[in-house]
């Protein structure tokens, strides 16, 4: 038995996120956009099937540190 992709987490922003979402939609794969509160109204967030808000906008170093935290990633994937 083969397993397919059931849901795709999009951790990118901007045009890259939009392109990934369009490709996933063309393949029938549901999408989840991971974004800050500042990006909740972005085109990618509007296009995604679901949006997971990671919290308020942060500077780049803080955002990368938070996103790289394995415990946060585990919670994000298990709640999706």
8-79 CATH fold: Rossmann fold (3.40.50)
pLDDT tier for residue 77 given thresholds of 50, 70 and 90: low
| More confident site: 1 or 12 | 12
- pTM value > 0.85: no
Give alpha helix (H) positions in 1-80: 14-26, 43-47, 60-68, 70-79
């Amino acid at each position: 038995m083969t397993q397919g992709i059931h849901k795709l987490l999009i951790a990118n922003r901007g045009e890259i996120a939009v392109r990934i979402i369009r490709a996933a939609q063309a393949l029938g794969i549901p999408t989840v956009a991971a974004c800050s509160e500042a990006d909740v109204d972005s085109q990618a967030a509007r296009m995604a099937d679901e949006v997971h808000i990671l919290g308020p906008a942060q500077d780049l170093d803080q955002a990368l540190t938070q996103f790289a935290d394995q415990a946060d990633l585990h919670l994000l994937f298990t709640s999706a």
